[in-house]
Structure 1
Amino acid sequence: MMLQQVGGTASNLQMMKWAFLLSCETLSHGGKTFYQFIPYRYGPYSFTLNQETDSLIRNGFLEKGLDNRWNLTPLGKNLDIALPNDVSKDICQISEIYGKLSGQKLINLIYDKYSWFTINSDLPGRKRKRPVAEKSIYTAGYEGKTVDEFLNLLMESGISRLIDVRYNPISRRYGFHKSTLLRLCSSLKIDYQHLPGLGIPGSEREHLGSDHQYTSLFENYRCSLPSREKDLTNVSRLLKSEPSVLMCMEANPEFCHRNVLAQHLTTLVDMPVKHLGC
């Protein structure tokens, strides 16, 4: 709808910045399931929004020109989009206030107002220092989060390495499949490491429901850890070398093997356990 409001064409950069301003400067924030943003090369950016534009292109609603502009097709211009009234009004408001600003003016405006989004900037003289966490055994789960929200949490927490301890690193949620997550982390200068030897096979997690079943699963996992000496040595080395987080899916660490692993690691490295995003 925003692209319809501004005449059907805009640069990728402009659309990203308008969407960001919609999320930050309106009462609706774009709606309950609107995009989250991370600091990127020219300010706030959403990997999820960019990925969904590819879907619009495949379905014939949008074209991406050689000049990196998004252009609505006739099908896209005539698309009737049903949005809540408050979101529609806020889109019109953002379009009226910022719709005529160039990409560079939008960058300057946002950099001046939202300095966090300068930490990965490619623009000289506009880069805020990135936070660096104290060494700890950090853990985090991505359940319920977009990849943008999750990666922003890591950067805000001063994390520079993600240690994926899933046995099978696939996910239907965009951004959390191993190959995609590796690519996105790399673009944000977050080192990605996958240690499947510290995971639990999916076959052992089937039909979990009761507290007793979780207790039994984690007790078996705890007992198996001494036999995973090579992987434990590797993860200990990674934790010591730079601020790192053990990542798995579950939001609540009490229902995830990463918490059992983290507690065991306190016997190998002199660091406390800290759960991010809880």
Structure 2
Amino acid sequence: MITKKKRALLYLLGKKQSLTKLQLVKLLFLASQDNPLYDFVPYRYGPFSFQMYTDISHLERDGYLLETNTMVTSLNHEFPLPDRSIQRSIDQVVRQFGDKTERELIDHIYSHYPETTIFSEIEKRQTYERDETGVVTIGYEGKSIDRFLSILIDSKVGKVIDVRRNAFSMKYGFSKNQISNYLEHMGITYLHMPELGIQSTRRQNLTDEGYAQLFHEYHQELGEKAAYLNTIKTIAEDEKVALLCFEAKASDCHRGVIAERFREEGMEVVDL
């Protein structure tokens, strides 16, 4: 499937035929400022997209481009063009920056977007400290892995505690091994706490009333899981903890019940 993002990537690459991976990432970052395409996270050389690198691999597999360790080359196969507004954004970026070297692109982005340099191995133009504590909750529904990581970074989260019963997802980036790896790249630790999850068999074919009853029962069951809740509270005294599950809204998820339990004990919990 040629997604909106992949169409934009192929369109930009077709303008230059061959680019280094760093140039491709930086040019798409600039194009995304006017017309959101990919999400980006601050990384070793400024803005980076894990999703984009995965798309490059998929597009090579499907015969649209050739990828080496450092280069990406268009194979000029036909593909559905992106929307006109996206084409205009990319055309403008290519006219202005298409002939820039890697160093020139980095210098421009570092000067104009210093927030992307907080983890840079080249030069940090903005400082960043994970100096907050407490508990927040987050769901990955509707978020790319890059957007998800950006939210955690902005919120100064130091540890993600995964409260899914089974830490598996069909969505790219969010199964246990994948997400723990991506979090590690961002300096965030990961802990899976399946004991706080709800068995999938209890959630099948439920109505709104059924979910309300399930969450009521789960709230009562949390009394038997005090050791796990206390572990979360202890960790949250030293760093900010994010409770992770799938649903976008905490009110639709059992992590919201955990958050409510903490609030009843006088803790402040923010739903990201």
CA positional deviation for 1:140 = 1.0
Paired position in structure 1 for 2:185: 187
How high is the sequence identity, in percent, across the aligned residues?
Answer: 31
Aligned to 1:70: 72
Q: Is the 8 A contact 2:46 2:116 kept in 1?
A: yes
Alpha carbons 1:37, 1:148 under 8 Å: kept:
yes
1:148 is aligned to 2:146? yes
Matching residue of 1:272:
268
**Code of the aligned partner of 1:18:** L
Residue 5 of structure 2 aligns with which residue?
Answer: none
Paired residue secondary structure (2:32)? helix
TM-score (norm 2): 0.91
CA distance in 2, matches of 1:258, 1:109: 42
Deviations 1:3-47 (CA, angstroms, capped at 9, x unpaired) = 1101x11111100011110110x3xx15xxx21111111111111
Residue number among 126, 129, 141 corresponding to 1:128 in the alignment:
126
The answer for unaligned runs of 5 or more in structure 1 is: none
Write the distance in 2 (CA, Å) between the matches of 1:108 and 1:203: 53
> What displacement does 1:267 show?
5.6
Q: Once superposed, what is the RMSD of the aligned Cα atoms?
A: 1.6
Asked if the contact 1:171–1:177 (Cα under 8 Å) also holds between the matched residues in 2, the reply is yes
TM-score where L is the length of structure 1: 0.89
Aligned partners of 2:57 and 2:169: how far apart in 1? Answer: 19
Equivalent in the alignment of 1:116:
115
Equivalent position SS for 1:227:
helix
The match for 2:173 is: 175
Confirm whether residue 4 of structure 1 aligns to residue 14 of structure 2: yes
**Partner secondary structure for residue 39 of structure 1:** strand
Shift of 1:80: 3.7
Residue equivalent to 1:98: 97
Report which stretch shifted further, 245-254 or 221-230: 221-230
1:198 and 2:205 correspond: no
Cα shift readout 1:91-121 (whole Å, capped 9, x = no counterpart): 1111111110111111110111011101111
- 1:173 maps to a residue whose letter is K
How far apart are 1:266 and its partner, in Å? 4.2
- What is the distance in 1 between the residues matched to 2:132 and 2:184? 22
List gaps (5 residues or longer) in structure 2: 1-10
In the alignment, the residues of structure 2 paired with residue 181 and residue 69 of structure 1 have an alpha-carbon distance, to the nearest angstrom, of 26
> Which residue matches 1:139?
137
